[in-house]
A and B are shown apart, each in its own frame.
Chain A
Amino acid sequence: MDYFFQQLINGLVLGSIYGLIAIGYTMVYGIVGMINFAHGDIFMIGGFIALITFLILVSIGMTMVPVILLLVLLVAMAVTALYGWTVERIAYRPLRQSFRLAPMLSAIGMSFVLSNFAQVSQGARVKPVPPIITGGYTLHDSGNFAVQLSNVQIVVVVTTVVLLAIFTYIVSRTRFGRDMRACEQDQTMAALLGVDVDRTISMTFVIGASLAAVAGMMYLLYYGLVDFFMGFIAGIKAFTAAVLGGIGSLPGAMLGGLAIGLIETFWSAYFSVEYKDVAAFSILIIVLIFMPTGLLGRPEVEKV
């Protein structure tokens, strides 16, 4: 039972990271109707930016961990957001009115560009960092197995919850959120009513990318390493999460992220570590076949 609780904690933490990435997928799909294949690599870039910022801050002699973390978070979010903006501007905006396949291939190309850019500029080897946040609590000790809750896990979950609260507020209460929802429903009508569609779409990418940067930083804190290839698998899994939760639905993305995190962790714990990705992808296929609208999605009505 203790083992189960430990896995539950681990799964929830991993799920929060997936959920943060999944929000970017679901937002972009909602507003422009395309799978942003480069989003996983934006997450990877976010991890790298966080790593480099952290390294600089430590080397100029900063010692206060909370200040360092806050600065790293802000820098990573800002710079990665600019990556998201640039990707949309270069690779997707010229193709917005084009036929369906063109933006998808452009996105795949962009994904190659980003991951290989990271490889070329930072080297192919895995970058380890020493544990930044240490310590933790023992929740329950039954003698042979102790349920641990580490401080990193608390930081990851708390950051995710806080950001989600801010983000939900933005989408549901602000002018920008209203514009975004309007563009999702009908871009032409939104434009007629004075919504700057281009700007709204750009902002969607910016927000998605900054949340992916947070996920990248959390990944760095939690696993203590980044590498240039981590975006691909994480990206597909986060997309799985977005689909599982019902694409286009924001709470759905978070819920799907948690579900994928839990499934992956429990599969690794009770069955086999090697096949954990196979399990996640099989879930994707099964969900799409039996529940194409996901957990919280609205059914797509097809008009002829």
Chain B
Amino acid sequence: MAVPAPHPASTEPSAGLGFILKKAVISALVALVLFFLMIGIRTEAGPSGQLIYWTRFGELAAIVGAVFVGSIVIELLRRWIGPVGGVELPASVRGGFAVLGRLLAPALLIFALLVPVIFYKERYLLDLAILVMTYVMLGWGLNIVVGLAGLLDLGYVAFYAVGAYSYALLAQSGLPFPHFIDTYPYVALDFQQLGPWAFWVLLPVSGLLAALWGVILGFPVLRLRGDYLAIVTLAFGEIIRLVILNWQDLTGGPNGISGIPRPTVFGIPLTPGEHGFAAMIGVPFSPTHRLVFLFYLILALALITNWVTIRLRALPIGRAWEAMREDEVACRALGINITTTKLSAFAIGAMFGGFAGAFFATRQGFISPESFSFQESALVLAIVVLGGMGSQLGVALAAIAMIGGFELFRGLDQFRMLVFGGVMVLLMIWRPRGLIGHRAPTVFLQKRTEISASLVKEGHG
């Protein structure tokens, strides 16, 4: 057993100190140049429309000082903690972690089921839980496209928007073809006649419409991959948003759509009246009932997404997705139909996005294009990547961490997106493979095939 080599930093502390100081001074100087104009000077349009400015050198000095100190602290941490990070945990501890890992998913599920019971009185927390579950569902939906099929989709919010607008428009005005209906009254489908059943009938319709749009997006991008695919999906998401924003006759433009029908418990409205759900089961009415119901609704939808994903992974199509993620060319060579594989991934991922969208519309009662910006796509993608691309549990944990963290910073108000972006960068640097790195294919060969060295060219192995 060799004696561990002394850490280089500890042998020459004085040189290390000088280096740290030099680095900190350089960082502070860079910060000074970066922030001198942007923070040191504040511009604003004055009362007469003329630009005015004032100086904020106090803030500038504080920030430059913070960069200086921060640079020293980071460098010290890197020296002291850095080597410890690689320590192997003892087998017993690792075993403990493994048991915890196995128990985590059922524990989370039980906790989720109990959330409305525990937080019945905390309206804010219930609302937050619904929001978190919405993102868990979106994350699981996008996970099919990005995590399983390996198709980088930056426009997932488009399907969320299609689902939300499909539900809102159909529930409000029936089919948007009044002339058609006047001419052929026998095919008239007035969804308003559905009354309390509107949500339950239109939920699958929204999902199907979103899936249709998934195929519409999928067809042209069949040949694209990697970054090109990402940018096309981004453009697609923006096109959908811009069309919603500008097609004022149909979508109300920036004003959005309000008065979207609220969900019912399978036809029984959650209202205080005689026919309401509270009266039916004989308890006094409370507005919290709706929140509890919405929570269980999104939980059920999310669990369906999860279940379908898990089942699909055991089917040929799921295996084809994973194979395609690992190597598209090899897939083609093995006779897997890339067209259907890609389109089905887009369609199924989009369908769950559409369900989530319809849920979002019925929960809010109001939707506008603002809710479907690129930031949402980036947020959901960040959840999937942080969750480890393909790990169902990881995505759920990442959604809780991201949305919960986002809410924690609500007090920071305008700094929130700044912090969010910064955290995204830091997390990527810290764990590029996600919080839970899990990319193992569902099936693999039991025995590793030995490859003769002569078959592996140097530099190509």
Residue ranges of A at the interface with B (Cβ–Cβ < 8 Å): 29, 33-35, 45, 48-49, 51-53, 55-56, 59, 75, 79, 82-83, 86, 90-91, 94-95, 98-106, 108-130, 232, 236, 239-240, 243, 274-275, 277-278, 281-282, 284-285, 288-289, 292, 302, 304
Closest residue of chain A to B328 (Cβ to Cβ) is: A302
Most buried by A among B231, B246, B381, B417: B231
Closest residue of chain A to B41 (Cβ to Cβ) is: A52
| Cα-based distance from A4 to B224 in the complex (angstroms) | 36
Q: Are A105 and B235 in contact (CB under 8 A)?
A: no
Q: Are A292 and B228 in contact (CB under 8 A)?
A: yes
Q: Are A113 and B414 in contact (CB under 8 A)?
A: no
Partner of A59, one of B53, B221, B382, B432: B53
| Cα-based distance from A29 to B220 in the complex (angstroms) | 23
Interface of A is mostly: helix
Q: Are B418 and A112 in contact (CB under 8 A)?
A: yes
Partner of A119, one of B152, B235, B414, B422: B414
Q: A105-B382, A108-B378, A129-B51 are in contact. Are A284 and B235 (CB under 8 A)?
A: yes
Our count of residue pairs bridging A and B at CB distance below 8 angstroms stands at 185
B435 at the interface (CB under 8 A from A): no
Q: Are B424 and A45 in contact (CB under 8 A)?
A: no
Q: A122-B42, A278-B239 are in contact. Are A53 and B37 (CB under 8 A)?
A: yes
Chain A residues contacting B417 (CB-CB under 8 Å) are: 112, 115-116, 119
Q: Are B53 and A52 in contact (CB under 8 A)?
A: yes
| Cα-based distance from A302 to B239 in the complex (angstroms) | 31
Partner of B224, one of A116, A275, A281, A292: A292
| Cα-based distance from A110 to B421 in the complex (angstroms) | 6
Chain A residues contacting B45 (CB-CB under 8 Å) are: 125-128
Chain A residues contacting B108 (CB-CB under 8 Å) are: none
Residue ranges of B at the interface with A (Cβ–Cβ < 8 Å): 30, 33-39, 41-45, 49-51, 53, 152, 220-221, 223-224, 226-228, 230-232, 234-236, 238-239, 242-243, 246, 329-330, 374-375, 378, 381-382, 385, 389, 414-415, 417-418, 420-425, 428-429, 432-433
Closest residue of chain A to B386 (Cβ to Cβ) is: A105
Closest residue of chain A to B333 (Cβ to Cβ) is: A304
10 contacts across the A-B interface (CB closer than 8 A): A34-B227, A101-B152, A110-B425, A120-B418, A121-B38, A123-B42, A127-B44, A236-B235, A284-B232, A288-B224
Q: Are A123 and B44 in contact (CB under 8 A)?
A: yes
5 tightest Cβ-Cβ pairs between the two chains A and B: A112-B421, A109-B424, A102-B432, A113-B421, A281-B235
Q: Are A106 and B424 in contact (CB under 8 A)?
A: yes
Partner of B425, one of A35, A113, A243: A113
Chain A residues contacting B39 (CB-CB under 8 Å) are: 121
Closest residue of chain A to B37 (Cβ to Cβ) is: A52
Chain B residues contacting A98 (CB-CB under 8 Å) are: 432
User: Distance (Å) between the CB of A58 and the closest chain B CB?
Assistant: 9
User: Distance (Å) between the CB of B222 and the closest chain A CB?
Assistant: 9
Q: Are B38 and A52 in contact (CB under 8 A)?
A: yes
Closest residue of chain B to A111 (Cβ to Cβ) is: B421
Q: Are A275 and B246 in contact (CB under 8 A)?
A: yes
Chain A residues contacting B53 (CB-CB under 8 Å) are: 52, 55-56, 59
User: Distance (Å) between the CB of A87 and the closest chain B CB?
Assistant: 9
Closest residue of chain B to A125 (Cβ to Cβ) is: B45
Q: Are B421 and A109 in contact (CB under 8 A)?
A: yes
User: Distance (Å) between the CB of A186 and the closest chain B CB?
Assistant: 12
Q: Are A106 and B429 in contact (CB under 8 A)?
A: yes
User: Distance (Å) between the CB of A117 and the closest chain B CB?
Assistant: 6
Q: Are A289 and B428 in contact (CB under 8 A)?
A: no
Chain B residues contacting A302 (CB-CB under 8 Å) are: 329
| Cα-based distance from A239 to B227 in the complex (angstroms) | 12
Chain A residues contacting B42 (CB-CB under 8 Å) are: 121-123
| Cα-based distance from A115 to B415 in the complex (angstroms) | 11
| Cα-based distance from A95 to B424 in the complex (angstroms) | 13
